[in-house]
Amino acid sequence: RAAEWQLDQPAWSGRLRITAKGSTAFIKLEDKTSGELFAQAPVEQFPGIAVEGVTDSSRYFVIRIEDGNGRRAFIGVGFVDRGDAFDFNVALQDHFKWVRQQSELAQQAQDLAQGPKLDLGFKEGQTIKLNIANMKKKQGGTGSTRPRPAGPGGLSLLPPPPGGKSGSGVQPAPLSTPTQLPGTPITDSLLSWPQPTAAPAPDVWGDFAKAAG
pTM for the model stands at 0.50
**Residues 15 and 34 sit within 8 Å (Cβ to Cβ):** no
pLDDT confidence tier of residue 184, bands split at 50, 70 and 90 = low
Instruction: Give the number of residues written for the chain.
Output: 213
Predicted confidence at residue 5, as pLDDT, reads 85
Q: How high does pLDDT run on average in the chain? A: 76
Query: 98-115 b/e with 16+ CB inside 10 Å = b?
Result: ebeeeeeeeeeeeeeeee
> What's the Cα-to-Cα distance from 115 to each of 102, 108, 136, 137, 179, rounded to whole Å?
20, 10, 43, 45, 76
Assigned fold of 2-113 = PH-domain like (2.30.29)
Across 72-81, average pLDDT: 92
pLDDT at position 93 is 93
Residue-range domain boundaries for the chain: 2-113
Position 172 pLDDT exceeds 80: no
Mean pLDDT in residue range 79-104: 92
Q: What is the distance in angstroms between the CA of the first residue and the CA of the last residue of the chain?
A: 170
Q: What is the mean pLDDT of residues 155-162?
A: 62
